Structure formats: C-alpha cells, structure tokens
C-alpha cells in the first residue's frame, strides 16, 4: 500500500493498528487509539499480563486516573484485545513498538526486547505498513539497528515495503492518559512523507503539537529532554549538600532562587529513580561513545544523583549517632518504595538503595509503600519499636499520617525527611527529632 492510501485509511480510522508491548506506555496508547475508533491489537509476550488485560484488569496498580475505565470501555466495544501471538500482526497497517530499552551495568543500551520484537514481527509484517517506535533509543539507533534488522527480517525495503519512524513517548506514571492526550510530541519519520503520515495518525489521540522531524532529531529530543532534567535535579542535590554543610535550608533557598527571573531550580531528594530519567542520559551519551566528544556533565550529574540514597543513609546514621545510638542496633522504617509519588512503579527505586546502605551499616530495615505490593500495611504498626522514620517518597498519604501516634509507637523519635515533604514544625510539635535533607543541623528544627 502506498503511503497516500495508508494516510487515507488513517484519516478514516479504517487502518488496522497493533501495539507491541503493553506496559506503562503501550497499554494507554493502545486503549486511546481504540477509544477514538481504531481496531487495535495488543501484542504482549507476558501471557499473564495478556490474560489480565483481556479480563479487564490493569496489569499495574498506582493512581492512573481513567485508565481502568478506558480499558473496560474499549474491551466491551470490541476495539481492543491483547494476544501473545505475533502471527495476528499480518493484517495490521500500523505497528507501534513500545518495548523496554534498558541499559546494563556498564551503561550500554540493551536492545534485546527491541531486537526480538523486530525479528518476530518481520516475517508477518504486512507490506506497505507503517512501523513506529515509541521506545526511547540512543540517537542513531533507528537507522543503524531498527531499519536494517526490519529489512532483513521482513525481506522488505524501507520506504517501499514498509515505512518507518520514531515518536518517543512523554508519559509519566500517574499521568499516563493526561500526558498522552495533552503533551506535544516529536514525530520523526525516515522521510518527510512518513512524518506527515505519523502526524495524521497521532492527531487522532493528541490535542497538543505534533512536531514533524527526522529520526535523529526525534531520538535526540527525547534523550536530551531527560538528560536535561537529570542535570537539573543533580544541581538541586549538590546545592542541598552545600546547604547542609553551611547551615542553610535548601527548600527555602530553592524557593527564593526561583523568584529570580529565568531560574527554575528543581527539588533535591533521596535519589532519581524510574525508567526514564536515570537511563536516558546514558542513551544520549552512548551515541557518541566511539567519537572524540568530551561528554562530562551528563555522567557527572548521574554520579551526583546516584549518591543521594547513600547520603540519605548517612543522614540517618548521623542522626542516630547524635542521639548516642549505633545504627547497627537500630530499627528503621522507610516510607515509600515506588520511584515516584503516588505511583506503584518500583523501577530503579532509590529506596532500595537506601535500604541496602542501611543494611550494610547493620540496621534492620522495614519499608512501607501504599501502592507497591509487599510493602503495604499499617504505618503505625510498622513504626513500633523503630528508631528512625525515613521519608523517601512524597506519597500524598504521608502528609496526613498521625505523627503523634507514630511517635508513641517508636523507640526513638527520629524523622529523617529525604524529600522536604513533612512539615518540620509539625514533626517537632509531635515530639520528633526532625532531620531534613538539605537542612544543615543549625537549620534543623
């Protein structure tokens, strides 16, 4: 099918769509296209996840406004169903690829999921179809890996047998649907015509700007926007360390700095987790690994952010020591395990690293999280006999916990706030010794 015919079928929503990978990115986008009237096939390797989706059960918890209702709606309308069989792709005019693209311990991109997807879909790819990668890729990956692999597995030639582009996602757990509908997107096509056809497609579900570009630009924009955020967070974290040393309060400093025009200092914290921000800077750096390009700021920012969990553990140890307690005899409750407030997504959880450091120091550590299975329960009960409460995630419910009750249950009333989330006066009023990340001891209450 020529691109023009495909665009006509897209405009009339007759084009048959497939989404490969039904995770935080793929499932919402599949449901959204089904909601507006496309016939959507979801292809997911995890059979248990396929079953849960086909029985109207979201395969993840967390607060995702509207997603469950949407899934039920598109299932009952018959516009969306999931499968683990690639064979069903053979009639699809459009295939969106939403699989994970992690990095390994050496910060090298791991494209196993992408490679196996491209190898499996090639033989059944419908000639004339449009393939769009939504996963985040190291700049250059579309032309250096995706294109040749898809040509060899399908036996088709790019821009003749299939059309190829990349449209990086800008979703965020807790705002999956709203980000999808309301955030602009970069639409990178192997050719300008392909980019325009992709715009025609995404216009159906996105009411924000769709910026047509080439593939390398789209790959760069996605990895740069997250590397930029990581550097911003690292700056805030470094200022927090300085404030602690000189007796400042970073939360107050940040507020006043941001009154200066053109400043937008982000928040220091217990660490940078998730599937995007810790990884994408390395995908960006990887694009020039074999070239004489001095990439220094991006790795340095990663290092700053990666030391925050250890720093929080040190704050806990130091606050215990100041009360004459040895951390090796302490019982510590960490509040929050998900990487982000009001989400159940535990990927690259900074709390896990905090726990590891505390355990290495000999402490016994328990964790509470209202959304992550295995960590739910009564905070009051978990706090019994503890010597320190560590706020690692800004889950909304932690704003309303009864500090007086928790205080009465604890052996030593130390509260270490890793997110500037608990009101220091309120904590002190409940009898806590409040230690805040980024607040020098003379700044502590």
Least CB distance to ligand SAJ at residue 340 (A): 5
**Which of the ranges 242-250, 263-271, 318-326, 375-383 carries the binding residues for ligand SAJ, by CB under 6 A?**
263-271
How many Cα atoms occupy the beta-carbon half-sphere of 191 within 13 Å? Answer: 10
Q: Which is nearer to ligand SAJ, 122 or 420 (CB)?
A: 420
Q: How far apart are CA 199 and CA 265, in angstroms?
A: 34
Judged by beta carbon, residue 40 or residue 180, the one nearer ligand SAJ is 180
Give the residue with the Cβ less far from ligand SAJ, 171 or 327.
171
x/- letters, 323..362, toward ligand SAJ (CB under 6 A): ----------------xx---------x------------
Count of residues that bind ligand SAJ according to CB under 6 A: 19
Report in angstroms how near the CB of residue 345 gets to ligand SAJ at its nearest: 8
CB 91 within 8 A of CB 126: yes
CA distance 48 to 54: 10
Q: Which is nearer to ligand SAJ, 31 or 430 (CB)?
A: 31
Site for ligand SAJ in 23-82 (CB under 6 A): none
CA 191 remoteness from chain centre: 30
For the record, the structure tokens of 194 come out as: 């392909």
- Residue of 118, 142, 208, 128 lying closest to 171 (CA atoms): 208
> Is 173 strand, coil or helix?
coil
Per CB under 6 A, which of residues 232..251 are in contact with ligand SAJ? 233
Eight-state DSSP code of residue 107:
S
Rounded to whole angstroms, the Cα distance separating 421 from 108 reads 35
169 binds ligand SAJ (CB under 6 A): yes
214 near ligand SAJ, rule: CB under 6 A:
no
Choosing from 88, 196, 225, 380, the residue that interacts with ligand SAJ (CB under 6 A) is 225
Residue position matching structure tokens 């979801």? 42
* Least CB distance to ligand SAJ at residue 5 (A): 32
Instruction: Give whichever of 156 and 283 is closer to ligand SAJ, judged by the CB atom.
Output: 283
- Active-site residue (options: 79, 126, 222, 361): 222
| Sign of the CA dihedral with 314 first, then 319, 324, and 329 last | negative
Mark the segment that binds ligand SAJ (CB under 6 A) among 47-55, 121-129, 224-232, 368-376: 224-232
Query: With binding defined as CB under 6 A, does residue 433 bind ligand SAJ?
Result: no
CB of residue 445 to ligand SAJ, shortest distance in Å: 22
Helix, strand, coil abundance in the chain, percent, nearest 5: 45, 15, 40
Q: How far is CA 84 from CA 17, 48, 87, 115, 162, in A?
A: 15, 10, 9, 17, 23
- For the segment 268-327, give every residue that binds ligand SAJ (CB under 6 A): 269, 272-274, 276-277
Residues 111-130 close enough to bind ligand SAJ by CB under 6 A: none
Q: In the bound complex, what is the minimum distance in angstroms from residue 393's beta carbon to ligand SAJ?
A: 7
Active-site residue, from 276, 279, 361, 394: 276
Question: Does the footprint of ligand SAJ cover residue 171 (CB under 6 A)?
Answer: yes
Q: Binding segment for ligand SAJ among 2-10, 125-133, 164-172, 315-323 (CB under 6 A)?
A: 164-172
Q: How many residues does this entry show for the chain?
A: 445
* Window of 91-99, 198-206, 221-229, 359-367 that interacts with ligand SAJ by CB under 6 A: 221-229
The number of C-alpha atoms within 13 Å of 184 and in the hemisphere containing its C-beta is 8
Report whether 357 contacts 425 (CB < 8 A). Answer: no
Beta carbon nearer to ligand SAJ, 93 or 342: 342
Q: Which is nearer to ligand SAJ, 39 or 100 (CB)?
A: 100
Give the Cα separation of 162 and 307 in Å (integer): 45
From 216, 266, 288, 428, residue interacting with ligand SAJ (rule: CB under 6 A)? 266
Among 81, 107, 229, 411, binds ligand SAJ (CB under 6 A): 229
How far from chain centre, in Å, is Cα 219? 17
Q: Which is nearer to ligand SAJ, 79 or 254 (CB)?
A: 254
The answer to whether residue 222 is catalytic is: yes
Token code pair at residue 407: 């205080």
- Closest by CA to 208, choosing from 177, 185, 175, 188, is 185
Cα separation, 328 vs 252, in Å, equals: 33
Three-class SS state of 110: coil
Is 79 designated active site?
A: no
Which residues fall within 8 angstroms of residue 364, CB to CB, at 6 or more apart? 330, 331, 332
Question: Residue 178 corresponds to which tokens in the numbers above?
Answer: 């709203």
Q: Rank residues 173 and 248 by Cβ distance to ligand SAJ and give the closer one.
A: 173
Nearest CA to 277 out of 178, 353, 172, 374 is that of: 172
Residue among 101, 194, 223, 226 that touches ligand SAJ (CB under 6 A) = 226
| Residue 354 CB contacts under 8 Å (≥ 6 apart), including other chains | 270, 271, 309, 312, 313, 334, 390, 392, 418
Which residues have CB under 8 Å from 277's CB, separation 6+? Answer: 226, 229, 230, 233
Tell me which residues touch ligand SAJ (CB under 6 A).
169-172, 225-226, 229, 233, 266-267, 269, 272-274, 276-277, 339-340, 350
Active site residues: 222, 276
């Amino acid at each position: 099918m020529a691109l023009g015919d495909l665009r006509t079928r897209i405009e009339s929503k007759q084009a048959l769509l497939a989404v490969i990978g039904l995770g935080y990115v793929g499932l919402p986008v599949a449901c959204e296209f089904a909601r507006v009237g496309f016939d959507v096939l979801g292809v997911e390797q995890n059979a248990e996840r396929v079953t849960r989706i086909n029985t109207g059960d979201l395969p993840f918890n967390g607060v995702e406004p509207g997603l469950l209702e949407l899934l039920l709606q598109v299932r009952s309308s018959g516009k969306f169903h999931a499968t683990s069989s690639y064979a069903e792709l053979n009639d699809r005019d459009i295939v969106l690829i939403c699989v994970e693209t992690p990095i390994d311990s050496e910060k090298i991109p791991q494209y196993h999921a992408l490679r196996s997807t491209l190898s499996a879909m090639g033989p059944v790819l419908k000639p004339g179809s449009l393939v769009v990668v939504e996963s985040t890729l190291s700049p250059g990956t579309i032309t250096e890996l995706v294109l040749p692999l898809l040509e060899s597995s399908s036996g088709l030639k790019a821009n003749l047998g299939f059309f190829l582009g990349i449209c990086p996602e800008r979703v965020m757990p807790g705002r999956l649907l709203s980000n999808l509908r309301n955030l602009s997107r970069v639409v990178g096509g192997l050719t300008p015509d392909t980019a325009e056809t992709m715009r025609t497609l995404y216009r159906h579900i996105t009411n924000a700007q769709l910026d047509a570009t080439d593939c390398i630009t789209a790959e760069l924009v996605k990895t740069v926007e997250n590397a930029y955020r990581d550097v911003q967070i690292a700056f805030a974290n470094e200022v927090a360390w300085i404030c602690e040393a000189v007796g400042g309060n970073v939360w107050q400093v940040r507020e006043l700095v941001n009154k200066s025009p053109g400043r937008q200092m982000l928040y220091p914290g217990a660490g940078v987790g998730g599937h995007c921000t810790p990884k994408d800077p390395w995908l960006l750096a990887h694009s020039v690994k074999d070239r004489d390009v001095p990439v220094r700021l991006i790795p340095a920012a990663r290092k700053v952010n990666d030391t925050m969990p250890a720093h929080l553990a040190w704050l806990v140890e130091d606050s215990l020591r100041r009360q004459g307690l040895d951390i090796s005899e302490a019982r510590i409750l960490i509040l929050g395990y998900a990487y982000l407030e009001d989400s159940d997504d535990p990927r690259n959880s900074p709390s896990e690293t905090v726990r590891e450091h505390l355990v290495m120091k000999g402490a016994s550590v328990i964790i509470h999280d209202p959304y992550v299975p295995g960590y739910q329960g009564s905070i009051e009960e978990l706090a019994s006999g503890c010597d320190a409460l560590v706020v690692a995630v800004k889950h909304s419910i932690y704003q309303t916990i009864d500090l007086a009750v928790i205080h009465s249950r604890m052996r030593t009333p130390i509260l270490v706030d890793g997110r500037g989330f608990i009101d220091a006066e309120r904590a002190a009023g409940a009898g806590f010794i409040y230690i805040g990340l980024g607040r020098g001891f003379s700044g502590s209450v």
